[in-house]
Amino acid sequence: MLKETRIQILVLLKINSQLRLLLKIRKKKERQLDKEVYIQPSIMLILKIFKFRSHKGRRILLQNKIKKFRI
């Protein structure tokens, strides 16, 4: 029983580390694309809102940036 749970935990940790690595690679590629392709700031903000809408803190931060951008 304990051995099985230990193996399951190790497998989950391995999967978690692989997912983190994939996420890092993806973010790095996105940053490279952002540098290569110039998009107007207003369009970029809209894209970021839709991309990060699941994370409340980032959405609030982006909304504040839009308010500053409108003024």
8 SS3 class: helix
Tell me the whole-structure pTM to 2 decimals.
0.43
In tens digits, the chain (71 residues) has pLDDT values of 778 888 898 999 999 999 999 999 988 887 777 666 666 677 767 766 666 555 555 556 666 666 665 54
From the number of C-beta atoms within 10 Å of its C-beta (0-12, 13-18, 19+), residue 36 rates as exposed
Q: How far is the C-alpha of 15 from the C-alpha of 21, rounded, in Å?
A: 10
Question: Is residue 49 within 8 Å of residue 59, measured between CB atoms?
Answer: yes
Angle between helices 56-70 and 41-51 (to 10 degrees): 160
